Amino acid sequence: MFVTKNLYQNDDQWKNTALGNSKETIGSWGCLLTSVTMLLNGIGYNETPVTVNDKMKKAGGFQGALFIPSVLPYVWANCVYKDMQNCETTPAPISYIDAAVAAGKPVILQVDWNKQAGLQTHFVLVKEKKGNDYSIYDPYKYGGDAPDKEVLLTTRYKYNGAKLATEISAVLWFENYSIAQPEPPKQTKLSLPAEKFVVFAAEDDLALRAEGSVTGYLWKRLMKNTELISLETKAQAQAKVGKQGQWIQVQDPTGQQGFVAAWYVSDKKVTASSSGTPATSPTPSTSPTPSTSPSPSKSPSPAPVPAGALALYPTTQITLRSKPVVATDNIIRYVNATEQLISLETAEQAIPKVGVQDQWIKVKDSTGKEGFVAAWFVKYAGGSTAQANNTTPSSGAPVKVKTTAEAVSLRKQPLVSDATLIKRVPIGYEFTITETGGESKIGKNDQWIKVKDATSEGYIAAWFVAR
């Protein structure tokens, strides 16, 4: 049984909220959004349709009112959208659904909610198997519905023969992982060194961890300029400040001890004056523009945006820097998590760096400023491109794409079916486009691209790849 609380898209709390980037409302069209919200809460998160709507918008998870499930793991790492299997013209794969439900995996089903001719799409979340039927969490509240009322799929949605195999028009498969927090490690408190040495958090949300590793248990996050007393000797700590890959053992003002990333601390407080935004961003490979520079009154020409460049979003507030290194003298400005950044590197260059420690990506912010951001604090928005209207092939050279979700299917035909599956590949897997003009489909819903890798050739869903 998949256990969660039944939420309703037409709840007065959010029914009039605009869905995604559209004029439609959650109450009218938010059945998939609400089903996903229930799914997320069932694996340990605490969301509402409003919070999921907002977070998905910020992450590029909508095309108008269209919800893009492949973006989910970029916001909620423990929920992965696997595939959508269309069953409009074929019987639904009941045995596979049963197996997933029995294993406690979340499954969302598409059904026909109206007896009119054609498919009137509605999405529901499966609760458990009941005889020859499914008990469901229905995101639309009808008269008499209540969270504890059992709703059977073929009792409520019975316009195609009232049998499971014909009433289900599509299956959305997901993978879920536990988000249970590990037990805090035991800690022996250390004495302060005789010679006091203080460092300061150079960024908001600096992690204080039990070990000197990004995987170490997280004690807390610290605000910028939090004063930290080094538990190491002054000489040891001073040598690490600002150094990538180094960690300093410290004590915060509450007495909590742990490790902080040395490349995110400074030996002096970060002030507005020390990080003031220059009129023009200096070229990263050189010093700030000297007085002999020609045309000093003009801003430098911005770097061209590569065809198919990626749209990126910070995972937290980050710093746009003039050079790819953490230092107090290269800060251009702080960038909020809601702000879109455009990669000035090609997708082939940028994608392998996204989320990777010690990598940097050159970007342009929403104000036109250019600089570098820490790649381990950005994500790309569902494979969306910065130049969707640029469909001109680059040079006749083979165009390569990479998958933007886990377990993307390579298929014999451009059709979702068990019979067409060749294999599933991980996120970041590279294919070469083999059809003329295939690059124009990249990132587009309901499009398929013919591709190949070293061993196979087939079709990949265009909405799951990026350049």
CATH code for the domain defined by 26-176: 3.90.70.10
Structural contact between residues 36 and 72, judged by C-beta atoms closer than 8 angstroms: yes
Calpha distance 267→225 (Å, rounded): 10
3-state secondary structure of 262: helix
* Tokens 């340990």 sit on residue: 44
Instruction: Please list, in sequence order, all residues whose beta carbon lies within 8 angstroms of the beta carbon of residue 118, skipping any fewer than 6 positions away.
Output: none
Helix (H, G, I), strand (E, B) or coil at 463: helix
Superfamily covering domain 400-466: SH3 Domains (2.30.30.40)
Write out the residue limits of the CATH 2.30.30.40 domain(s) in the chain: 198-266, 310-385, 400-466
pLDDT in tens, the chain (467 residues): 899 999 999 999 999 999 999 999 999 999 999 999 999 999 889 999 999 999 999 888 888 888 998 888 878 878 888 888 888 888 899 998 998 898 888 999 999 888 777 778 899 999 999 999 999 999 999 988 887 889 999 999 988 888 888 999 999 998 886 555 567 888 899 999 999 999 998 876 688 889 887 667 878 878 788 999 999 999 999 999 988 778 999 999 999 999 998 988 999 887 643 333 333 333 333 333 333 333 333 334 444 554 455 777 777 678 899 988 877 678 888 887 667 788 888 766 777 777 776 788 999 887 888 999 988 778 765 433 333 333 333 445 788 888 876 567 888 877 666 677 888 887 778 899 998 878 888 877 567 899 999 888 998 888 778 88
CATH class in words for 310-385 = mainly beta
Angle in degrees, 0-180, between the axes of helices 49-58 and 31-42, rounded to the nearest 10 = 100
Question: 């220059």: which residue's tokens?
Answer: 278
Q: What angle is formed at CA 378 by the lines to CA 182 and CA 367, rounded to 5 degrees?
A: 145
CATH class of this structure's domain 198-266? mainly beta
CATH 3.90.70.10 residue ranges in the chain?
Answer: 26-176
Instruction: Please count the CA atoms within 13 angstroms of the CA of 337 that sit on its side-chain side.
Output: 15
- DSSP 3-state helix, strand, coil percentages of the chain (rounded to 5)? 15, 30, 55
Whole-angstrom distance, CA of residue 450 vs CA of residue 462: 9
